[in-house]
Amino acid sequence: MAEKETQKTYRMHLMICAGTGCVSNHSYEVKEALEKELRKHGLENEVVVVPTGCNGFCERGPILVVQPGNIFYQQLSVKDVPHLVEEHFLKGRPVAKLMYSPPETKQPVPVLNDIPFFNKQVLIALRNRGLIDPEKIEESIAHDGYKAMVKALSEMKPEKIIAEITLSGLRGRGGAGFPTGLKWQLVRNAMSTNGGQKYIVCNGDEGDPGAFMDRSILEADPHSVIEGMVIGAKAIGATAGFIYVRNEYPLAVERLSIALKQARDYGLLGQDILGTGFDFDIQIKRGAGAFVCGEETALIASIEGRLGEPRPRPPYPAQSGLWGKPTCINNVETWANVPTIINRGAKWYAGIGTKTSKGTKVFSLVGKINNTGLVEVPMGITLREIIYDIGGGIPGGKAFKAVQTGGPSGGCIPKEKIDLPIDYESLSEAGSMMGSGGMVIMDEDTCMVDVARYFLTFTQDESCGKCTPCREGTKAMLEILTKITEGKGTPEDLTLLEDLAPAIKDTALCGLGKTAPNPVLTTLRYFRNEYETHIQNKKCPAHVCRPLNVYTIDPGLCLSQGHGCDVCRRNCSSEAIAGQKNEAHAIFQDKCIKCGVCYDVCAFGAVKVD
């Protein structure tokens, strides 16, 4: 029965995004409505609706791409469905009003590849996004899934696989950028001296806030990761593997479980894979909500059922990992790159990118940007191209201030460096790092002192407490930053921060602590004036640090423009606003909790903040 269904041919495929973003924008309701409407017109044997993984353009969800033709529809709702089915799928007239129109031209762009968000992207890790149903292995296979694995298992010696990965220049996509081929070689060599069991691990504990590429890959194309891991297993000689997935990603766990079962059923995993005599299987391990478990030694401890605390290295997992055996740990995106390198060759891959950073990188473009979403771009692209060409610039005509990369371990890069070509080295020279690929855009309304305080709150909270510099040092830095954002800072505080930061960097046990001061150091380096304004003038220029804000209502504007509309008073949760309809309103400063809701709801600009 299932076989029959997959063999059925349709004249049209409606690829609806079923990534987490679109699902929360009701894409499943749109899918059901489409199926119902297609049946109503007797089209169910001609047109099929296919749920896919994340399309990337999350800002515009729910997204539907019609094949053939690559026609892109966006922000669909159930009520758009009858018109769309009748016009496009029955009569063949694509519906312009449901297409994307760039804000500059206001002209609908029918074809996906012509949309600026997509046309500068180069897809390797995300090669199957929007093209396959992640819950059907047949669709993955139809798009060259497992082809590289067949080649690696039947035609290539382990040395040849490692040589190919080394030559490609692939580096770890989890953040640190360690050369993948070299890591594989180390684990392979470790086997020849120790013998016995070895392990492959996929690190899917994507903890950096603001990054969701690993989630997207696992949800959209789980087979690409499984295939990469089998190739890695052959190269290093492992027979067992684990995928460690964050607890917060239930959909990724579900899709991976389905994918693993299907791969086993097809003989692509398990004993004697495809009759080549090679055995390898994979288990899923769910994380339990601890950021530090993204660190490889903590992750290993967590898989073994222990507290996720890091330990000093060496020995590195390549020598002594899971249960003391040589273990090769790579991140989700790294594994997803492997099959394409084997298929298309190391030379091809190394032709993309810069001298030291080859291939592409997936970034999640989020924060104060028009086109939020997931993008895969060649290394060496400039920040300007990402922010303005792909991202469509800053919303509401606001000024771009900085971009934060590398999560809590990274830093803020100021607007002066917008023409920086992105690779591992250029980002660390700027004081930040590649990290897992979160790219949070900040505009003039973002306070950089608050951002530094935010990241320290994060690292302080997530510090496992094992080593003193991280446990106590991040706490001390956080206390100073909190003081500054409350208007109680002194000029000496900045000196103290500058003393503490390198001390923590040099002495903390693991990556979490060693990099925790980075957000403070980069904001001090590029935005020192903001710190000084908080300390000297007791003001937050971006009006983010609330203890420093004072909200008032301009009585003239309130009455002349809004006729005392009373919306602010009705939304105030602390009864701090006086007035009634047709009267000018006013704020009792002693009752105001500075939540800012009055400022947000006033349609007449009568509420002021200073």
Partner 1 sequence: MNEQRVSEILTRYQGDSSSIIAILQDIQEDFSYLPPPVLKIISHELGIPLSRILSLATFYKAFSLKPKGKHRIHVCLGTACHVRGAQRIIEKFERDLGIKSGETSADREFSLDAVRCIGCCGLAPVVMIGEDVHGKVTQTKIPGLLKKYKK
Residues making contact with partner 1 (CB under 8 A): 20-21, 23-25, 58-59, 61, 206-212, 215-216, 247-250, 285-291, 302, 304-308, 364, 366-368, 372-373, 404, 407, 438, 440, 442, 446, 451, 454-455, 458, 462, 464, 571, 573, 595-597, 600-601
The least CB distance from residue 147 to partner 1, in Å, is 29
List beta partners, residue 195: none
The least CB distance from residue 234 to partner 1, in Å, is 26
The least CB distance from residue 316 to partner 1, in Å, is 22
The least CB distance from residue 235 to partner 1, in Å, is 26
Q: Nearer to partner 1 by C-beta: 19 or 339?
A: 19
The least CB distance from residue 93 to partner 1, in Å, is 30
The least CB distance from residue 312 to partner 1, in Å, is 19
Q: How far is CA 261 from CA 203, 225, 561, in A?
A: 20, 14, 64
Q: Can you tell me whether residue 198 is helix, strand or coil?
A: coil
Sheet harboring 64-67: ordered strands across?
Answer: 47-52, 12-17, 64-67, 71-73
The least CB distance from residue 407 to partner 1, in Å, is 7
User: What residue has token string 């490889």?
Assistant: 296
Yes or no: say if 198 and 158 are a contact pair by the CB < 8 Å rule.
Answer: no
Q: Nearer to partner 1 by C-beta: 287 or 431?
A: 287
List beta partners, residue 373: 365
The least CB distance from residue 427 to partner 1, in Å, is 16
Q: Nearer to partner 1 by C-beta: 442 or 587?
A: 442
Strand 47-52 and strand 12-17: pairing? parallel
Residues present in the chain in total: 610
Ramachandran area for residue 336 (φ above 0: left; ψ -120 to 50: alpha; else beta): alpha
Q: Nearer to partner 1 by C-beta: 175 or 367?
A: 367
Check the CA dihedral 65-71-75-76 and report its sign: negative
Query: Which candidate, 233, 232, 199, places its Cα nearest to that of 322?
Result: 199
Q: Nearer to partner 1 by C-beta: 300 or 346?
A: 300
Q: Nearer to partner 1 by C-beta: 156 or 413?
A: 413
Return the structure tokens found at 404: 């934060």
Yes or no: say if 525 and 505 are a contact pair by the CB < 8 Å rule.
Answer: no
The least CB distance from residue 292 to partner 1, in Å, is 9
Q: Nearer to partner 1 by C-beta: 239 or 354?
A: 239
Residue by residue, DSSP assigns 284-321 as EEE--S-GGGGSHHHHHHHHTTS-------SSPTTTS-
Q: Nearer to partner 1 by C-beta: 119 or 247?
A: 247
Yes or no: say if 438 and 459 are a contact pair by the CB < 8 Å rule.
Answer: no
Which helix (H) or strand (E) covers residue 17, if one does? strand 12-17
Check the CA dihedral 337-341-342-346 and report its sign: negative
Q: Nearer to partner 1 by C-beta: 234 or 286?
A: 286
Q: Nearer to partner 1 by C-beta: 316 or 455?
A: 455
Q: How far is CA 43 from the centre of its chain?
A: 37
The least CB distance from residue 181 to partner 1, in Å, is 29
H helical segments located in 203-358: 213-220, 222-236, 250-265, 296-303, 332-344, 346-350
Return the structure tokens found at 349: 């891959």
The least CB distance from residue 353 to partner 1, in Å, is 25
Q: Nearer to partner 1 by C-beta: 172 or 373?
A: 373
CA distance 225 to 146: 10
